């Protein structure tokens, strides 16, 4: 079965109010082209599962697509806080359900493996546990008397991840295999949508099965979007665009500047190619492209 869709069609699979898990980590491999398409389609009331994230969450929050964020961290790392996310949480427009990284991994694993909970000592003693006593339950092992945190399943409607390559059947390759926490969200999700840098022949998977990351029964749709993680990175093809992050943060200090930035460089362009063009086109691509080794 051919699973290739245009990115517009793939984004249309996400319904308002659903729980959407975003792949990648911080500045790495975020499915940004897909996120931009969600914004263009005006999605509403999404719950985002974004374990360690920055720009993708900030875009979706800025576009008023989000009601709740389940996360361990949202920031632009050394470049500061994610401005729209920060203000939306401070003003209560968006609810943040904060967990630690491993607590989220454990909750996703519980969902993926059909278990009532996964126990861990991670997070024990912190205030994080008390924020949501029903999903991270503080318990004591009746046999050893040891305290642990019981992490209950975190169900995900749709996981969206960015990868290097796929065939039309939906076999996927992340190569080199740097998966962050993408496996956790994919395994927990009812549906998985993958954006890829390139569609490759099915025969290449048979020729090199050791390079396959996800088999086709896991994926529901594949969309080909070269440079689809921009302005985050897709190692080793390209790095994140520091200039975009700086310009975005700077624009966010003033609502009028941000509106202009948003319309001209972010949500306005009607295709991913036009979006790249609006952000410097070939010059930008050449700047972030990594030398092949």
Taking CB under 8 A as the binding criterion, the range among 8-16, 72-80, 216-224, 276-284 that sits at the site for another protein is 72-80
87 three-state secondary structure: helix
Closest distance between another protein and the C-beta of residue 25, in Å?
6
Structure tokens at 50: 């974004």
Report which of 239, 236, 164 is spatially closest to residue 196, judged by C-alpha positions.
164
Q: Which of 119, 236, 268, 280 binds another protein (CB under 8 A)?
A: 236
Q: Which of 28, 30, 47, 212 binds another protein (CB under 8 A)?
A: 28
Asked if 73 and 97 touch (Cβ cutoff 8 Å), the reply is no
Closest distance between another protein and the C-beta of residue 247, in Å?
15
Report which of 92, 96, 90, 54 is spatially closest to residue 71, judged by C-alpha positions.
96
133 three-state secondary structure: coil
Asked if 67 and 47 touch (Cβ cutoff 8 Å), the reply is yes
178 contacts another protein (rule: CB under 8 A): yes
The neighbour count for residue 117, using CB atoms within 10 Å, is 19
Instruction: Find the radius of gyration of the CA atoms of the chain.
Output: 19
The separation between the first and the last C-alpha atoms of the chain, rounded to the nearest angstrom, is 35
25 contacts another protein (rule: CB under 8 A): yes
Q: Which of 14, 35, 52, 55 binds another protein (CB under 8 A)?
A: 52
Q: Which of 42, 45, 113, 125 binds another protein (CB under 8 A)?
A: 125
85 contacts another protein (rule: CB under 8 A): yes
* CA distances, 13 to each of 26, 60, 158, 280 (Å): 25, 17, 9, 30
Task: Rank residues 1 and 143 by Cβ distance to another protein and give the closer one.
Answer: 143
Taking CB under 8 A as the binding criterion, the range among 1-9, 77-85, 162-170, 189-197 that sits at the site for another protein is 77-85
Binding pattern to another protein, positions 136-155, x when CB under 8 A?
----------xx--------
| Contact set with another protein (CB under 8 A) | 25-28, 52, 71-75, 77-78, 81, 85-86, 89-90, 92, 96, 98-103, 105, 120-128, 131, 146-147, 176-184, 233, 235-236, 239-240, 242, 290
């Amino acid at each position: 079965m051919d699973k290739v869709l245009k990115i517009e069609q793939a984004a249309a699979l996400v319904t308002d109010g659903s729980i959407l898990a975003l792949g990648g980590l911080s500045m790495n491999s975020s499915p940004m082209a897909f996120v931009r398409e969600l914004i263009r389609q005006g999605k509403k009331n999404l719950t985002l599962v974004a374990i360690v994230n920055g720009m993708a969450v900030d875009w979706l929050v800025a576009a008023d697509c989000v009601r709740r964020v389940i996360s361990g961290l949202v920031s632009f790392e050394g470049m500061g806080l994610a401005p729209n996310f920060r203000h939306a949480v401070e003003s209560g427009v968006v609810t943040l359900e904060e967990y630690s990284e491993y607590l989220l991994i454990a909750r996703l694993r519980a969902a993926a493996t059909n278990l009532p909970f996964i126990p861990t000592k991670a997070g024990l003693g912190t205030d994080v546990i008390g924020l949501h006593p029903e999903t991270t339950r503080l318990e004591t092992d009746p046999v050893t008397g040891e305290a642990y945190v019981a992490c209950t399943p975190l169900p995900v409607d749709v996981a969206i991840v960015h990868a290097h390559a796929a065939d039309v059947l939906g076999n996927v390759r992340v190569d080199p295999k740097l998966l962050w926490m993408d496996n956790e969200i994919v395994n927990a999700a009812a549906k998985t949508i993958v954006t890829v840098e390139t569609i490759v022949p099915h025969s290449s998977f048979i020729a090199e099965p050791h390079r396959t990351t996800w088999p086709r029964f896991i994926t529901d749709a594949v969309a080909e979007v070269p440079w689809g993680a921009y302005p985050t990175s897709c190692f080793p093809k390209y790095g994140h665009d520091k200039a975009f992050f700086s310009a975005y943060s700077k624009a966010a200090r003033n609502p009028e500047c941000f509106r202009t930035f948003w319309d001209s460089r972010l949500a306005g362009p009607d295709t991913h190619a036009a979006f790249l063009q609006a952000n410097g086109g070939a010059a930008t691509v050449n700047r972030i492209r990594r030398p092949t080794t």
